[in-house]
Structure 1
């Protein structure tokens, strides 16, 4: 299966619903603000390197984070955020996906206007929250849930056969990717890919032919093998389905 950039963007808009009920963490107190956006969605230039996927994933309910960034491994994580002004704030709050890095006035979350508005109990209440600019919130990590398997997207800067950069998209559950390796057939060994920035991993002069990958996830002692390799004729902007998902 090969998906090109427009198809990938469509997939990003289909379904990303962070679970609302289960979490391994309690709520943590913090602060949140929002950034300007003419269409209220996210930004395709976020520090995670997600491109257009990062602006529309989760229907544009996204956020940049500061201390939750974790050197880029926090990219793609899902959080429930709810504000703490009783007369204005909705009890369910907003569910956001991390697509960017940002720092504000002692804030952990810099949210898209679309996500920030969901903190309010109704449109009038949301308008009042925008006047505050920065609000006290509480947040917790929640699992991401998708209706399809993890995808590996070839970053637009890649050039076959000299340079390969990838993003691993739609990682479900509560799993952060901490490392990626590819199989070097001539040496019979796994070689580490470099975290170039955000969620982008790269490799100079990758092996010819099929590219086999494995992932290291936080909380797991074993490596996760993606048994569907990237084909040898891979091209920049394409996305390839894997055989795995986490719940």
Structure 2
């Protein structure tokens, strides 16, 4: 059972940035990534993804956010294509050996998207290498409910929250065992949160808060009492 307060999320204004791509047309190199989503097909994201410069990534708090991106002011832009929509799943790290305007595209304070090649090819000719873009935050449309992947051991629970709709991002997470109170989890890295508690043998419920909207969702009894690390459990509903 899940209980959600829904405030609605309409997205943000159009802003300027640049975009490149990484990997090839199979997008195999985009699997995994700094958000910790692992196989992006299994976690609900597919190939419509992007790595964010650290200005947007913000130590993982930007994970899961969705963006509309359109190519502008370049002869390489595809005509008639308004935008493509991607999810933030990775970090584009700084390259301090290169000038920010000549190779160090993700150096702070630049706002930059390093897109999967399939996503890039929806808005521009890939031979361009780098293009100016306009971008805006938009609601994430997800199917199948929020997914909680459990890692850790008997005294340390590490949880990756995936396939989050609405604003897509997470500001905080709490866990509740069937014999405990709500326990605040600390941010580990990417989209993972941790609790140093012995929760084995208890059904687990989760509460998460959106970073952008402060929307709260509570998912009761997501994982059964015989849950195991390495398993992924889905809540029935999602942010919308």
Shift of residue 203, structure 1, vs aligned partner: 2.1
Q: What's the counterpart of residue 17 of structure 2?
A: 30
1:198 aligns with 2:202: no
TM-score by length of 2: 0.78
Structure 2 segments unaligned to the other structure (5+ residues): 1-8, 94-103
Q: What per-residue deviation string (whole Å, max 9, x for no partner) do you get for residues 103-129 of structure 1?
A: 441451011111111112xxxxx2xxx
Alignment partners' CA distance in 2, 1:148 and 1:26: 28
Shift of residue 141, structure 1, vs aligned partner: 0.9
Corresponding residue pairs, total: 214
Alignment partners' CA distance in 2, 1:168 and 1:56: 9
Q: What's the counterpart of residue 16 of structure 1?
A: none
TM-score by length of 1: 0.76
1:168 aligns with 2:161: yes
2:64 aligned to 46, 57, 76, which one? 76
Shift of residue 220, structure 1, vs aligned partner: 5.2
Q: Which runs of 4+ in 1 moved over 6 A?
A: none
RMSD: 2.6
Alignment partners' CA distance in 1, 2:25 and 2:239: 34
1:114 aligns with 2:118: yes
- Higher RCO (C-alpha 8 Å, min separation 6): 2
After superposing the two structures, state which structure 1 stretch, 204-213 or 43-52, moved more.
204-213
Distance 1:197 1:171, change over 3 A: same
After superposing the two structures, state which structure 1 stretch, 85-94 or 161-170, moved more.
85-94
Structure 1 segments unaligned to the other structure (5+ residues): 1-21, 121-125
Kept after mapping to 1: 8 A contact 2:35/2:60: yes
2:90 aligned to 70, 91, 100, which one? 100
